Amino acid sequence: MKKIQLKRYAKLIARVGLNVKKGQTVFITAGLDQPEFVTMVVEECYKAGAKSVFVTWSHQPVSKLNATYRSLETLSELTPMSEAELKYKADNLSCRLFIESEDPDGMNGVDQEKLSKARRAQYPLIKPYREAVENKHQWCIVAVPGKAWAKKVFPELSEKKAMEQMWKTILYTSRADGSNPIQAWKDHNDDLQARCDYLNDLELQYVQIKSSNGTDVKIELNKDGRFCGGNEKTLKGRVFNPNIPTEEVFTSPKAGSAEGIVYSTKPLSYMGELIENFSLRFENGKVTEVKAEKGEELLKQMVTMDEGAGMLGEVALIPYESPISKSGVLFYNTLFDENASCHLALGRGFNECLKGFENYDNEECKRRGINDSMIHVDFMIGAKDTEIVGFKESGERVQIFKDGNWAF
């Protein structure tokens, strides 16, 4: 991959993804797969005005060893060092960048029940720090190739060619393969905003999603809810793009509102393992039945992590003809696969999907219908023939999706 294109991608991440401002601190979490590119991103953050940039390196084989050999007690701890870092990030409203490159199968064989128990134990300790920065700081998730991930996606290629093809595909789907990615993202954000405005003007009461694979679910929306997409704003008005790539227009439905069944159309990578060919049945808003050809026990653990884990926190609309879908690539990675088709998310909803959310605390947002949970896990349900119809309070029907794509 040409260095000039990687520098354009790094600049896009710093200037559009995070939108780093003068004097801000930046925390980057990355694997050991692309240190040269991470260095480019650090430089671009400084050029954008960052005061300090900190990089935390991770290595999945080491994470697997920790998960295997550490006791449940030690995995559940929030060490003073970790807590001090969380406090620093909250006090300084630091920008946070997550660069993904991990092997989708990299945690196979780990005791997932132990990890789930550790996450549940840590969550009450971490939650206050997470809520302290919610809607107040810039953050972004992007990706770079890792060798194992590239070979998983392109098994027919040599390792070198798989890595080259992975770079090309990531840049294409991230709209970062042209001469001016920043302008490309401005145009893309404008298009997503126009679609959000149209949907918000409809003031829909609920949506019904159907596909020929058996998906048929009715999802009630919040009365004062809104659709969002593309870039977001902090409460102080700083614009950023939390996901590169993104194709979705999304909202958080009314907690405990779904009725029906949904079938996955792509594998779900969760906790370093794959869950494949699964279905979820909702009754009175909660998951009551789980089936999966692979990873069923892990899926059952996921939907019972806490009270909100079995309820929906997000409905995301993505056309079947999105760049990621057109690429024909199955990434085995939620950041990309969720943007290939419509998806739902179990767990925590988004406060910003309420009109006037800036005037409410988390408890008030929950009272107004935003689901609360320690997890937020996206899974793909969109198909080539997906139909989505919106219903107004008057009973009027509005076609939102037809044959897997926007109907407007």
Q: From the CA atom positions of the chain, what is the Rg in Å?
A: 20
Q: How many of the other CB atoms lie within 10 Å of CB of 363? A: 9
Q: pLDDT for 158-188, tens place per residue? A: 999 999 999 999 999 999 999 999 999 999 9
Measured in whole angstroms, the distance separating CA 306 from the mean position of its chain's CA atoms is 19
Bridge-based pairing of strands 376-380 and 343-347 is antiparallel
Q: How many of the other CB atoms lie within 10 Å of CB of 59? A: 13
The predicted pLDDT at position 1 comes to: 81
Q: What is the separation, in whole angstroms, between the first and last Cα of the chain?
A: 37
In angstroms, the CA 237 to CA 187 distance is 20
Q: At 362, which helix (H) or strand (E)?
A: helix 362-367
Domain over 3-173 is classified CATH 3.40.50.11440: no
Region of 304 (left: φ > 0; alpha: ψ -120 to 50; beta: rest) is alpha
What sign does the CA torsion over 196, 200, 202, 208 have?
positive
The predicted pLDDT at position 203 comes to: 96
In angstroms, the CA 289 to CA 247 distance is 30
- Distant-in-sequence, close-in-space partners of 196: CB < 8 Å, separation ≥ 6: 226, 227, 228, 229, 230, 249
Q: What is the DSSP string of 181-229?
A: HHHHHHHHHHHHHHHHHHHHHH-EEEEEEE-TTS-EEEEEBPTTB--EE
Bridge-based pairing of strands 95-100 and 25-31 is parallel
Contact (Cβ atoms closer than 8 angstroms) between residue 14 and residue 48? yes
Q: What is the DSSP string of 131-147?
A: HHHTTTS-EEEEE---H
Per the prediction, the chain carries an average pLDDT of 97
Q: How many of the other CB atoms lie within 10 Å of CB of 141? A: 19
DSSP-assigned beta bridge partners for residue 95: 26
In angstroms, the CA 230 to CA 300 distance is 32
In angstroms, the CA 32 to CA 42 distance is 15
CA-to-CA separations, 6 to 1, 11, 53, 163, 247, in angstroms, rounded: 7, 9, 19, 14, 22
Helix (H, G, I), strand (E, B) or coil at 278: strand
Q: Where in the chain is the domain with CATH 3.40.1830.10?
A: 3-173
Q: Where are the alpha helices (DSSP H) in 55-111?
A: 60-69, 72-75, 80-92
Residue whose entry in the numeric block shows the structure tokens 């393969």: 177
In angstroms, the CA 404 to CA 236 distance is 37
Q: Which of 18, 355, 23, 24 is nearest to 196 (CA)?
A: 355
In angstroms, the CA 371 to CA 306 distance is 11
Contact (Cβ atoms closer than 8 angstroms) between residue 70 and residue 97? no
DSSP-assigned beta bridge partners for residue 37: none
The predicted pLDDT at position 272 comes to: 86
Q: pLDDT for 260-302, tens place per residue? A: 999 999 999 999 899 999 999 999 999 999 999 999 999 999 9
DSSP-assigned beta bridge partners for residue 406: 401
For the beta sheet containing 376-380, the strands, ordered from the edge strand earlier in sequence to the opposite edge, are: 228-229, 249-251, 312-317, 343-347, 376-380
**Weakly modelled stretches of the chain, pLDDT under 50:** none
Q: pLDDT for 355-396, tens place per residue? A: 999 999 999 999 999 999 999 999 999 999 999 999 999 999
